[in-house]
Amino acid sequence: MIMYKAFQQHLQNQLDAISSDGLMKTERIITSPQSAAITLSNGSTVLNFCANNYLGLSDNPQIKAAAVQAIERYGYGMSSVRFICGTTDLHKALEATIAGYFGTEDTILYAACFDANGGVFEPLLTEEDAIISDTLNHASIIDGVRLCKAQRYKYNNADMVDLETQLTAASKARFRLIVTDGVFSMDGNTCPLDKILSLSEKYNAMIMVDESHSAGVVGRTGGGVTEHYNAKGQVEIITGTLGKAFGGAIGGFTTGKKEIIEVLRQKSRPYLFSNSIPPMVAAAGIEAFNLLSHSNELQEKLHHNTERFVSAMLTAGFNIKPTTSAICAVMLFDAKLSAKFAELLLSRGIYVRSFSFPVVPRDQARIRVQLSAAHSTEHILHAISAFIEVGKFLKVI
């Protein structure tokens, strides 16, 4: 208790510094289901343009019904990890469904993609091997790589010249694994998977793609970057989340070559030592993939909404990062300006977040807009006119 006094002061100093840098993250409280229009705790209704609810499935009636039915039949939780007594027929069915969706051989579920990425490298690679990772890869990939003894190489975001340099530097390693996000979450660009595939052949390397932001979104049927680049079945490992396009609850997975998945079932620590996802989540996940297998309507609506928003914003004179996903980064560069912009948009009924250092580089502050199939044409037009109004008021355009 005496030591805590000093530690408390130490923590308070950090919090004060975060606050005075304008980097304090706060939570905004929502009192409605996640949807295109949401209610905030102050009673206001706003249009949500910052959810990962790309296909609008977070409050989908069929998915909700599947979850309710599963809770009635299987109860609430499994009270076990998978290999002791935490596997139901629903878990196996979801694994098979995910493999079918991505055109892969087998799938292993995790509590989240953070765990999938945290548990994928260490069981598969050792100090004799090399991981070659994009610098803008998700935090969970960075942490997963840290837990593994393999040699580490980094290449600049989507920079194929640099990737080639790193592959050359890693040429002595026994096995090489190139690791990339499918869609980079702050910019909205896709990884150049076609070029990565050619380099993997030239330099004899394997590939892992994290499809968290791309699955359900990119590609004609939402099959992710492997579909977009016509490369289904050609990468060894795919990781992804059920927490974004596919209903947005919780759950992650690794899908790919069957021997890889089998070794993960034997050795991956977040799988061996963490609880099984609840049956209701597995049932809802199966329903989400089933819905998507019947039609491309949601993907088409999402692509249409994204194109409409991006082209209107470019015409209005905004600086937008080139996007191939449902993420649209509106560049404002200055952190305070960006925060002010988001605040004024909220007062006009548009909920978006400003992103600044350390989430993006200094002087690269931006508002990240995420489009959804749940948005109607009126929602998109409302967002565009609010951006233009605030942009003019703040002299950005």
Interacting residues toward ligand PLP by CB under 6 A = 112-114, 117, 138, 140, 181, 185, 210, 212-213, 241, 243, 252
The CB-of-388 to ligand PLP minimum distance in angstroms stands at 29
Q: Burial of 257 by CB count in 10 Å (0-12 exposed, 13-18 middle, 19+ buried)?
A: middle
> What is the distance between the terminal CA atoms of the chain, rounded to a whole angstrom?
55
The CB-of-247 to ligand PLP minimum distance in angstroms stands at 12
138, 244, 375, 379: the active-site residue: 244
> If we measure between CA atoms, which residue out of 299, 207, 214, 220 comes closest to residue 260?
207
b/e per residue 175-186 (b: at least 16 CB within 10 A): bbbbbbbbbbbb
The CB-of-190 to ligand PLP minimum distance in angstroms stands at 12
Continuous segment of H or E residues that includes residue 152: strand 151-155
Q: Are 186 and 360 in contact (CB under 8 A)?
A: yes
The CB-of-68 to ligand PLP minimum distance in angstroms stands at 22
Q: Are 315 and 335 in contact (CB under 8 A)?
A: no
58, 133, 212, 213: the active-site residue: 213
| 184 vs 387, beta carbon nearer ligand PLP | 184
- Beta-sheet pairing, 365-370 with 327-333: antiparallel
244 catalytic per annotation:
yes
304 catalytic per annotation:
no
Q: CA-to-CA distance for 273 and 268, rounded, in angstroms?
A: 9
| 27 vs 72, beta carbon nearer ligand PLP | 27
| 53 vs 386, beta carbon nearer ligand PLP | 53
Q: Residue with structure tokens 């199966």? A: 286
Q: How far is CA 189 from CA 58, 161, 239, 252, 324, in A?
A: 24, 17, 18, 22, 5
79 catalytic per annotation:
no
Strands in 327-333's sheet, in edge-to-edge order, are: 327-333, 365-370, 353-355
The CB-of-129 to ligand PLP minimum distance in angstroms stands at 22
58, 185, 214, 325: the active-site residue: 185
User: CB neighbours of 386 closer than 8 A, spacing ≥ 6?
Assistant: 345, 348, 349, 350
The CB-of-255 to ligand PLP minimum distance in angstroms stands at 14
**Structure tokens given for 14:** 């950090």
User: CB neighbours of 29 closer than 8 A, spacing ≥ 6?
Assistant: 40, 41
List residues with catalytic annotation.
Answer: 185, 213, 244
